[in-house]
Amino acid sequence: MDRKMKIENNKSIALAYVLKVDGEIIETVKKEQPMRLIFGQGYLLPKFEENIKGKTIGDTFEFELKAADAYGEIDDDAFVELSKDLFEVDGKIDETLFTLGNIIPMRDSRGNRLNGTVDSISDTAIVMNFNHPLAGCNLNFIGEVVDVHDVTPEELAEMQDTCYHGDCRDCQCHCG
């Protein structure tokens, strides 16, 4: 293991970290099961990448990403009122879908997959929030670089079988 190898594009990396929003821990990734990815391929937020680029195994990091540099500010246009009739399947509506905070997978007019969160409910309609769940949030990361190495053929093959874009029909990763 080359402890001097630095995080740069097309290196395989592993990270352990804690993510906090408003002082509350919302995600913990431990050293025993780190997040593994190929750096510089768009799997991380650009400002996150800027904060860890050049680090080596054992280096620690601590930084905040402002909402604008993370998942953006809350977009009022991402709140959409939809008729409950749109959720009808075989002439029936599953009312259990309509629970505040429930996440419902949907597709837009182009067939792109979207996750909407039920924001409010009336007798005939629901308001769906299509903002990212962390929109409007500043993200605070504290972590450590667990591994940095050249990408192996096995890792490349694994990455080709994995789609991080949500809908393989629309992405350029050729994962099927």
Kindly report whether the global pTM for this prediction surpasses the value 0.85: no
Average pLDDT over residues 26-47: 95
Tokens 């039920």, located at residue: 118
CATH architecture of 11-71+135-160: Roll (3.10)
- Identify the pLDDT of residue 168: 43
Tokens 């505040």, located at residue: 100
- Identify the pLDDT of residue 155: 82
- pLDDT over 70 (residue 125): yes
**Has domain 76-129 been given CATH number 1.10.287.110?**
no
- pLDDT over 50 (residue 127): yes
For residue 79, count other CB atoms closer than 10 A to its CB. Answer: 16
- pLDDT over 50 (residue 173): no
**Is the fold of 11-71+135-160 the same as that of 76-129?**
no
- Identify the pLDDT of residue 1: 60
**Hey, what are 1's tokens?**
């293991």
**Hey, what are 33's tokens?**
């099961």
- pLDDT over 60 (residue 172): no
Distance, CA of 88 to CA of 91 (rounded, Å): 6
Per the prediction, the chain carries an average pLDDT of 88
- Identify the pLDDT of residue 57: 96
Residue spans of the domains in the chain: they are 11-71+135-160, 76-129
Each residue's pLDDT tens digit, 3-25: 789 999 999 999 999 999 999 99
Amino acid of residue 161: D
For the chain, give percent helix, strand, coil, nearest 5.
15, 40, 45
Angle at 36 between CA 33 and CA 42, to 5 degrees: 145
Residue pair 149/1 in contact by the 8 Å Cβ criterion: yes
